[in-house]
């Protein structure tokens, strides 16, 4: 019999979505293009940096949900090579925001067991920001609950150029022959050589392109596009994307019969 003095325990607000998830069908590697921060701010009459600040809350929620669900790798597109063409004032603000995030969130990442690592031409970052990046990478290198893989000063074409140069140097130095170069060797030359390819890519803000992100790695990745701006893309929106992902049949070029015998 229920105790009339005890308050009713309400289920979590997203329990309806959580119940639809199959733990065995969740992506192991989730990639995200976090788009729409500037538009979110402009719609509210705020400076663009306010959208990026609000977007950090979405990053926190995504990290927490990934840990809860057992997603192993989270790759986020934080700053592209093309972003260096933005106004100097905005770039300075973004680098300051990166430093602030790492200085305030580093202890939380360690506590949660999150390994922070980066891909891209990271040495292009200002010295102070680069120092925070390297320090956070070192202090979390031993952690294994979740890999937070952050693309900074990243471009997919630049990654392929850098990989081609590395392979050319190996051939020139006699460490590799041209005939040895295959997809496996190419993959090992990429920034993501120690990671499996993403299972699911989410892009927010209504754009339906991959914008020079993980050009090699996304060959067989499921793509999910949503009109939701990144600062509004929180836990519930992520669960909806994961449910949609689980409805898809991943064939990797193979053919499966839809006719039962």
Question: Is position 45 annotated in a ligand binding site?
Answer: no
Alpha-carbon distances, residue 5 vs 8, 9, 12, 30, 88 (angstroms): 9, 12, 21, 44, 61
Residue 86 marked as a ligand binder: yes
5 is in an annotated binding site: no
61 assigned ligand-binding residue: no
- Residue 203 among known ligand-binding residues: yes
55 is in an annotated binding site: no
Check 8, 14, 22, 35 and give the catalytic one.
35
222 is in an annotated binding site: yes
Active site residue 83: yes
Q: Do the annotations mark residue 173 as ligand-binding?
A: no
* Residue 84 counted as an annotated binding residue: yes
* Catalytic residue of the set 83, 166, 212, 232: 83
Judge whether 182 counts as a catalytic residue.
no
Cα dihedral value 140, 141, 143, 148, nearest 10: 70
Q: Which residues are catalytic?
A: 35, 83
Binding residues for Mg(2+): 35, 222
Binding residues for substrate: 36-40, 48, 52, 80-82, 84, 86, 203, 209-211
């Amino acid at each position: 019999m229920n105790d009339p003095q005890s308050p009713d325990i309400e289920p979590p607000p997203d329990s309806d979505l959580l119940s639809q998830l199959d733990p065995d069908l969740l992506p192991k590697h989730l990639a995200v293009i976090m788009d729409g921060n500037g538009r979110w701010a402009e719609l509210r009459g705020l400076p663009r940096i306010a959208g990026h600040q609000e977007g950090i809350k979405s990053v926190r929620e995504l990290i927490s949900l990934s840990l809860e669900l057992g997603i192993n790798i989270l790759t986020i597109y934080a700053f592209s090579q093309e972003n260096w063409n933005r106004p100097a004032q905005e770039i300075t603000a973004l680098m300051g925001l990166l430093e602030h995030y790492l200085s305030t969130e580093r202890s939380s990442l360690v506590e949660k067991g999150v390994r922070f690592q980066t891909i891209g031409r990271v040495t292009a970052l200002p010295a102070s920001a680069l120092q925070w990046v390297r320090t956070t990478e070192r202090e979390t290198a031993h952690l294994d609950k979740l890999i937070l893989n952050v693309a900074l000063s990243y471009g997919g074409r630049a990654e392929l150029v850098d990989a081609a140069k590395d392979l050319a140097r190996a051939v020139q130095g006699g460490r590799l022959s041209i005939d040895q170069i295959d997809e496996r060797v190419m993959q090992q030359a990429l920034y993501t050589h120690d990671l499996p390819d993403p299972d699911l890519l989410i892009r927010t803000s209504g754009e339906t392109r991959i914008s020079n992100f993980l050009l090699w790695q996304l060959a067989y990745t499921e793509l999910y596009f949503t009109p939701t701006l990144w600062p509004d893309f929180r836990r519930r929106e992520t669960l909806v994307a994961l449910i949609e992902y689980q409805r898809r049949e991943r064939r990797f070029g193979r053919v499966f019969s839809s006719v039962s015998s």
